[in-house]
Amino acid sequence: MVKILKVKERPLSLSELVHEASLVGGRLTEEEMKKRIEPCPKCGCQTWILLPIHSKPVKEGGKRYMHCQDCCYPSHL
Ligand SMILES: [Zn+2]
């Protein structure tokens, strides 16, 4: 069955990002998370799309992967 999902549009706060990362074992503090978050190194876009916890890359890689909204450059929290 085809599923169409709506991406959460409200930007996540630092504490929410820390929580999202912790779901897969991340242990960053809010301060560390703040330093980690940067614009896309490839296109400079400042919006990332966080992959769902149950997505294949997250399950297989064990990290909270995300990709640039504009060029799909991959990164993680
Ligand atoms: Zn980009």
Tally of domains within the chain: 1
Give the Å distance between the CA of 65 and the centre of ligand 1.
Answer: 14
Q: Is the pLDDT of residue 24 over 70?
A: yes
- pLDDT tens profile 25-67: 999 999 999 999 999 999 999 999 999 999 999 999 999 999 9
Residue 69 Cα to ligand 1 middle (Å): 7
The model carries a pTM of 0.83
Q: How far is the CA of 48 from the centre of ligand 1 (A)?
A: 8
| 4 falls within a domain | no
Position 3 in a domain: no
32 domain residue, yes or no: yes
Ligand 1 center to residue 5 CA distance, Å? 22
CA distance 23 to 63: 9
Phi-psi region of 60 (alpha: psi -120 to 50; beta: other; left: phi over 0): alpha
In the structure, what pLDDT confidence band is assigned to residue 8 with cuts at 50, 70 and 90?
Answer: low
Which pairs with CB-CB distance under 8 Å and at least 24 residues apart come from 12-15? 12/50
Ligand 1 centroid distance, CA of 28 (Å): 24
